[in-house]
Amino acid sequence: MLETITSPIDVPRAHLDPITTLSEKLSVFSLALMRPLRHETIVLCCDKLQRGVGIFAFDSKLKLTEIIDRIIGTAINIESVAEIKICTSRAGNGRESTDKSQFIFAKNRCLDAGIDLSEWFLVAPGDVYALSS
**Could you tell me the pLDDT band of residue 4, with boundaries at 50, 70 and 90?**
very low
Q: Is residue 11 part of a domain?
A: no
Rounded to whole angstroms, the Cα distance separating 104 from 128 reads 19
Task: State phi, psi for 116 to the nearest 5 degrees.
Answer: -95, 120
Confidence check: pLDDT of 48 > 60: yes
Q: Is residue 15 part of a domain?
A: no
Q: Give the global pTM.
A: 0.89
Q: Is residue 86 part of a domain?
A: yes
The tally of domains found in the chain comes to 1
Rounded to whole angstroms, the Cα distance separating 86 from 40 reads 10
pLDDT of the residue at 91:
79
Residue-number span of the structural domain to which 86 is assigned: 41-61+81-95+115-125
Q: Is residue 31 part of a domain?
A: no
Q: Is residue 48 part of a domain?
A: yes
Collapsing DSSP states into helix, strand and coil, what is residue 108? helix
Q: Is residue 8 part of a domain?
A: no
Q: Is residue 4 part of a domain?
A: no
Rounded to whole angstroms, the Cα distance separating 16 from 126 reads 32
**Could you tell me the pLDDT band of residue 9, with boundaries at 50, 70 and 90?**
low
Q: Is residue 18 part of a domain?
A: no
The 8-class DSSP code of residue 75 comes to H
- Report the phi/psi class of residue 110: left, alpha or beta, with left for phi > 0 and alpha for psi in -120 to 50: alpha
